Amino acid sequence: MESNQTMEIEATPYSYESSQSEDIQIIAQRVRELRQGGKLTPDVLGNIRRYFRIKNTYHSNAIEGNVLTVGETRQVVEHGLTITGKPLKDQAEAKNLSEALDFLETLAGDPSVPILETDIRQLHYLVLKKIDDENAGMYRTIQVEISGSKYRPPAPESVAGQMQELGVWLAQASVAANKLGATEGLLVAAAAHTWLVYIHPFVDGNGRVARLLMNVILMRFGYPIAVITKEDRLRYYDALEISQTSDLSPFLALICESVHESLEEYEEAAKEQREKEEWAASLAARFAEPEKIRAQNQYEVWKNAMELLKSYFRQMVALLDEGASVGHVYFKDFGNLEFEKYLSLRGGDSAKKTWFFRVDFRSGDRAVRYLFFFGSPSYSLRAETDVTLHVAREEPAGSFRYERLDSIPLPNVPAMVEIGYKPKEEKFVAKTRNGARRTDKIEKIGGSFFEDVVSKHFQT
Catalytic residue set: 200
CA distance 15 to 335: 28
Alpha helices, H only, 273-333: 279-286, 289-323
Report whether 20 contacts 253 (CB < 8 A).
Answer: yes
Report whether 32 contacts 18 (CB < 8 A).
Answer: no
The Cα-based distances of 184 to 187, 191, 221, 377 in angstroms read 5, 10, 8, 38
What is the Rg, in whole angstroms, of the alpha carbon atoms belonging to the chain?
23
CA distance 257 to 351: 13
Q: How far apart are the first and last CA of the chain?
A: 15
Tell me, what amino acid is at 400?
F
266: enclosing H helix or E strand: helix 249-272
Report whether 305 contacts 206 (CB < 8 A).
Answer: no
Q: Is 413 helix (H, G, I), strand (E, B) or coil?
A: coil
Report whether 27 contacts 182 (CB < 8 A).
Answer: no
284: enclosing H helix or E strand: helix 279-286
Residues in Cβ contact with 317 at an 8 Å cutoff, skipping those fewer than 6 apart: 329, 330, 331, 359
Report whether 88 contacts 64 (CB < 8 A).
Answer: no
Burial 258-281 (b: 16+ CB within 10 A, else e): bbbebbebbbebbeeeeeeebbee
Residue 365, burial from CB neighbour count under 10 angstroms (0-12, 13-18, 19+): exposed
CB atoms within 10 A of CB 419: 22
